[in-house]
Amino acid sequence: MADEPEQSHDGMDGRADPQGPVVFAYDGSDLAKLAIREAARLLGPGRDALVLTIWQPFDVTFVPRVQLKVNAADAAEVRDAAQQTADDGASLAKEAGFSARGVELQVSPTWKGIVHAAEEHDASLIVLGSHGRSGISGVLLGSVAEAVAGHSDRSVLVVHRRD
């Protein structure tokens, strides 16, 4: 009808997505892969997703493809490896039923990048895996999952390894 307002298209693929995308914090680890699969199981197919890999020069905190050798002192190499890692995660998310794209982001600390990306993209949910550090190592190393949950006003799904 001519009198109906035009529908906005907020989704990354041009579809309307009133829920906002899911942001996956993805470091290439088995736990990050599990988080994508678990979110797909819980949410079902069809959601938009942003698969985010955070990086810093001299501190490669993600797991690059096996065949990649990354010189941590070369920011361009680290950025490229981070993008490839995010793209690999986006492929997994697509296989799981999401409409996904991978994004690399240089920021420190990691939790700030995740929270910032979720805000920037008006995410409805942040999904990440927790390595489950506790005790003194958790205090000394910090917890990205705990920091994201504590600093974001978005819902956060923390996926734990089931051993």
What is the count of structural domains for the chain?
A: 1
- C-alpha triplet 63, 84, 122: angle, nearest 5°: 95
> Which residues form the domain of 78?
22-160
Q: What is the pLDDT of residue 4?
A: 39
Question: In which band, very low, low, confident or very high, does the pLDDT at 42 lie, cut at 50, 70 and 90?
Answer: very high
Is residue 10 in some structural domain? no
Measured between alpha carbons, how far is 123 from 115 in angstroms, rounded to an integer? 10
Better pLDDT: 57 or 79: 79
Is residue 156 in some structural domain? yes
For residue 122, give the nearest of 5, 15, 12 by alpha carbon: 12
pTM (predicted TM-score): 0.79
Got the DSSP string for 26-86? --SSHHHHHHHHHHHHHH-S--EEEEEEEEBTTB--S---TT----TT-HHHHHHHHHHHH
- Spell out the residues 6+ positions from residue 139 whose beta carbon is closer than 8 angstroms to its own: none
What average pLDDT does range 4-27 have in this prediction?
62
What percentage of residues in the chain have a pLDDT greater than 70?
72
Is residue 2 in some structural domain? no
Measured between alpha carbons, how far is 134 from 55 in angstroms, rounded to an integer? 24
Residue 142 clears pLDDT 50, i.e. is over it = no
Is residue 7 in some structural domain? no
Q: What is the pLDDT of residues 99-108, one digit of tens each?
A: 999 999 999 9
What average pLDDT does range 68-75 have in this prediction?
68
Residue 110 clears pLDDT 90, i.e. is over it = yes
Beta bridge partners of 22: 49, 125
Is residue 16 in some structural domain? no
Kindly report the CATH number assigned to the domain that includes residue 156. 3.40.50.620
